[in-house]
Amino acid sequence: MKSIPILLCFAGLAGIAQAQLSTGATGITIKSGTVFSAEGLTLTPDTDISLQNQTISFSATPATAGSGATISKVYTINPALTFSGTLGIKYTAAELNGNLENTLDLVKADGSGTFTAFNSSTTGSAGTYYVSAPGLSNVSLNRLSATSASVPLPLRYDDFKVVSGPGCASLLSWNGYKASVSNFAIERSGDGKHYEALSLEIHQDGNHFFSRDTKLLKDKNFYRLALSERGEEVVYSNVVSIHNTCLLAETNIYPNPAGKNITISLAAAPEHIATIDLLDISGKQILSFKTSLQTSTLDLKSVAAGTYLLKVQEGVNTEYIKFVKQ
């Protein structure tokens, strides 16, 4: 196999401060589940991967990482390799460079950028001198090493979405990992091209983030997240959008304040069956009914005095109307 002589040539350079493996145009293929090892760097892919026209360089000179330095093993894969599986580094006690074996974490960097930690690293039992990051998925590997120093964690997000909410608001939510509220800003656009930052309060519950926009633009509203990390350029999320359904509909209710009943007059007879829900101010459903009529009357005799919302839903359009029951 082509991998055998290449690895042997690489291993023969172990005694010097810098070594290099070049795969060339023909390249090599690492089969799923096969452990590829080069000068202590181990790759165990979840799927077959090819190394072609790539160079793996090794340096025994530590690099700056966070508040300290890496071990005396720094790898560079050029061009960067997109990798899924388990990454590991084997080292010796002499290569710890003041780092502690039991607190060692794998770190990565792009080009000459700042080293950041993987989301999870695992150290072997004492004396094994091995640290790994299992379960990687489509991670870009460029510069690699390990350190016990405090380094930034990579910011990740997913499931950014927007839905209609009570009181003609749009409700935005997403998941963020290794993140805090200060890492996010919400931007809005009316045309999907020109965005402006919104001064919206963002709330965090563990990995879940959410916010509320109560001053929607006419017609369609486009949203994106601006993600910022210290020392890094701002990057933007995918774009989500929603129509201002309060302006699309012309539902009228009367009287307001209401007494024993309230009349609901839709802009036109529903093309589909309309669902009308009576909600308390927290969003809890009190009553619900369906209608195909343009005008309906809701009996409120059993409803306590207070402030309520009528949720009118027809097809994909939803409207919220606030009223007071006396």
- Dump pLDDT digits (tens) for 193-232: 999 999 999 999 988 999 999 888 877 899 999 988 765 6
At residue 7, does pLDDT exceed 70?
Answer: no
Q: What is the signed CA dihedral for 109, 185, 137, 148, rounded to 10 degrees?
A: 40
pLDDT at residue 25, rounded to an integer:
66
C-alpha dist (Å) from residue 36 to 60, 188, 217, 261, 266: 20, 47, 55, 75, 68
pLDDT value of residue 247: 53
Mean pLDDT (the chain, rounded):
84
- pLDDT exceeds 60 at position 270: yes
H or E element at residue 208: strand 208-213
Determine the 3-state secondary structure of 300 from DSSP: coil
pLDDT at 230: 60
Structural fold of domain 3-147: Chondroitinase Ac; Chain A, domain 3 (2.60.220)
Which option is the CATH number for 249-325: 2.60.40.10, 3.40.309.10, 3.20.20.70, 2.60.40.3080?
2.60.40.3080
> Is residue 12's pLDDT more than 50?
no
> Does residue 281 carry a pLDDT above 80?
yes
Whole-model pTM? 0.48
Taking CA atoms, 21 is separated from 40, 77, 78, 81, 124, in Å, by 13, 9, 10, 14, 26
Domain span(s) for CATH 2.60.40.3080 in the chain: 249-325
Residue 36: φ, ψ to 5°: -100, 125
Q: Tokens 């096969």 correspond to what residue?
A: 34
Q: Which fold has domain 156-245?
A: Immunoglobulin-like (2.60.40)
